[in-house]
């Protein structure tokens, strides 16, 4: 029953970075250190002293964990503060926190679709959203990645075949680094009266005006926004943002919201501090500029296919074993850049996905380019 039927070359190993020999660091000043090129801690906020202080002080006063669900005794003032601040920042009526983005996405799909619905989703949406669709019982139809024309075709074929239609996209795709053509997607959804769920996990803090994500440019046109606090916010947990009535539906009906221990007060306080910093910074634009510089330099080498519009850059290799060999080579050169392989990406599209972070200096870029140039 517990036999694992996975080919040898696809078996994953859990490795520790940050303890012992391999030290998780931003610089490479010790021989054993690796420069982490794959973390989603885009602004380095997980190590920000003010944020850690806020989390620590909240832990001391309110406990490390919340101790129970939001409806029992798990709700703290800091949860409500963060929910209100996020709602104001994103110009949304209601924000609800979740312990993780994975869970928030399951809750989002379950709130917007059921077994009488059809979900039309971009081919490359995150696994958590697909789990949500399965949990909802809705029929799933996929449209070609970032292809509004195919979305329209699928909507015209299926919109009168179900009681409700939900379209799901990410605003900035986690493995491709591509931005969704959100304006067109919104207008097609409106034409076919479909609800729209947008996962902004990788865009928040970075893309859109003042880093508020892509949905912010289209106030009230998106049915629900999902965001995580474990990436650019450097903390943990996640949230859903929506109109008041839908927020109330989540509070009253959402099992992933009510039957789980509330997000820890310390992570919540850390995220609140991170929001304060992100709000008054220009970090999103700075990171996009820096990412363009990295992308241009890698392309200039002339031997790599690079994908990605923002700070997520995928160097497409194709073959799985070759991608693993590339990963090992980069590790020898002092970089932690993990091979992304099927089933996370399609067969033949294995890649090294790198994430550009605010803490990267010119020295790191030079070293990486040198490593790429000498790869055979
Ligand atoms: C697009 C996307 N959505 C959701 C999630 C899940 O977020 P979390 O890590 O907070 O569970 C991730 C994380 O990998 C993601 O990339």
- CATH code, domain carrying 193: 3.40.640.10
Q: Is residue 232 part of a domain?
A: yes
Same domain, 55 and 189: yes
Same domain, 295 and 229: no
Tens-digit pLDDT string for the chain (376 aa): 677 777 777 777 777 665 444 444 444 445 557 889 999 999 999 999 999 999 999 999 999 999 999 999 999 999 999 999 999 999 999 999 999 999 999 999 999 999 999 999 999 999 999 999 999 999 999 999 999 999 999 999 998 999 999 999 999 999 999 999 999 999 999 999 999 999 999 999 999 999 999 999 998 899 999 999 999 999 999 999 999 999 999 999 999 999 999 999 999 999 999 999 999 999 999 999 999 999 999 999 999 999 999 999 999 999 999 999 999 999 999 999 999 999 999 999 999 999 999 999 999 999 999 999 999 8
Cis bond leading into 343, ω under 30°?
Answer: yes
How far is the C-alpha of 327 from the C-alpha of 339, rounded, in Å? 6
C-alpha of residue 50 to centroid of ligand 1, in Å: 25
Q: Which of 227, 251, 279 is the last residue of a domain?
A: 279
Q: Which of 279, 308, 329 is the last residue of a domain?
A: 279
Same domain, 209 and 74: yes
Same domain, 255 and 314: no
Beta strand ranges found along the chain (DSSP E) = 24-25, 34-36, 94-98, 117-122, 139-143, 164-170, 195-199, 224-228, 238-242, 305-307, 312-318, 335-336, 339-340, 350-355
Cβ(100) to ligand 1 under 6 A? yes
C-alpha of residue 234 to centroid of ligand 1, in Å: 13
Same domain, 359 and 224: no
How far is the C-alpha of 206 from the C-alpha of 291, rounded, in Å? 11
Same domain, 101 and 196: yes
How far is the C-alpha of 27 from the C-alpha of 30, rounded, in Å? 8
Cβ(199) to ligand 1 under 6 A? yes
How many separate domains does the chain show?
2
Q: Which of 218, 246, 279 is the last residue of a domain?
A: 279
Same domain, 275 and 287: no
**Residue 279 contacts residue 212 (beta carbons within 8 Å):** no
C-alpha of residue 25 to centroid of ligand 1, in Å: 23
SS3 breakdown of the chain: % helix, strand, coil, rounded to 5?
Answer: 45, 20, 40
Same domain, 255 and 152: yes
The values of phi and psi at residue 310, to 5°, are -130, -125
Pocket test for ligand 1, best of 100, 197, 201 (most atoms within 8 A of CB): 201
- Three-class secondary structure of residue 321 per DSSP: helix
Same domain, 136 and 261: yes
Same domain, 336 and 313: yes
Same domain, 301 and 217: no
Same domain, 185 and 325: no
Angle between helix axes 101-112 and 127-136 (nearest 10 degrees) is: 40
C-alpha of residue 231 to centroid of ligand 1, in Å: 8
Q: Is residue 179 part of a domain?
A: yes
Cβ(231) to ligand 1 under 6 A? no
Nearest to 155 by CA among 171, 169, 167, 170: 167
Q: Where in the sequence is the domain holding 346, given as residue range(s)?
A: 16-42+283-373
């Amino acid at each position: 029953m517990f036999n694992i039927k996975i080919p040898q070359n696809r078996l994953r190993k859990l490795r520790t970075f940050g303890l012992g020999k391999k030290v998780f660091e931003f610089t490479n000043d010790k021989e054993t250190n690796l420069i982490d090129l794959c973390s989603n801690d885009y602004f380095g906020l997980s190590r920000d002293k003010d944020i850690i202080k806020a989390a620590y002080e909240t832990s001391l006063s309110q406990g490390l964990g919340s101790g129970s669900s939001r409806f029992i005794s798990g709700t703290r003032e800091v949860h409500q503060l963060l929910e209100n601040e996020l709602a104001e920042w994103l110009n949304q009526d209601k924000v609800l926190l979740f312990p993780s983005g994975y869970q928030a996405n399951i809750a989002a799909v379950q709130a917007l679709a059921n077994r009488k619905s059809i979900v039309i989703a971009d081919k490359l949406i995150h696994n958590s959203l697909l789990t949500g669709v399965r949990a909802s019982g809705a029929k799933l139809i996929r449209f070609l990645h970032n292809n509004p024309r195919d979305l329209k075709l699928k909507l015209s074929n299926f919109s009168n075949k179900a009681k409700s239609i939900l379209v799901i996209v990410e605003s900035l795709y986690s493995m491709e680094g591509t931005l969704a053509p959100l304006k067109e997607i919104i207008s097609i959804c409106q034409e076919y009266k479909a609800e729209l769920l947008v996962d902004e996990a990788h865009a928040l803090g970075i893309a859109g005006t003042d880093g508020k994500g892509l949905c912010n440019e289209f106030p009230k046109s998106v049915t629900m926004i999902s965001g995580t606090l474990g990436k650019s916010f450097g903390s943990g947990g996640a949230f859903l943002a929506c109109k008041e009535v839908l927020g109330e539906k989540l509070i009253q009906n959402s099992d992933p919201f009510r039957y789980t221990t509330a997000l820890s007060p310390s992570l919540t306080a850390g995220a609140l501090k991170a929001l304060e910093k992100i709000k008054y910074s220009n970090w999103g634009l700075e990171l996009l500029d820096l990412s363009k510089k990295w992308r241009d330099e890698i392309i200039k080498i002339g031997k790599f296919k690079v994908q990605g519009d923002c700070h997520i850059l995928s160097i497409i290799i194709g073959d799985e074993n070759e991608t693993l060999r590339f990963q090992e080579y980069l590790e020898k050169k002092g970089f932690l850049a993990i091979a992304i392989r099927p089933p996370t990406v399609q067969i033949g599209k294995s890649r090294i996905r790198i994430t550009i972070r605010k803490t990267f200096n010119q020295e790191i870029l030079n070293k990486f380019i040198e490593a790429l140039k000498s790869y055979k």
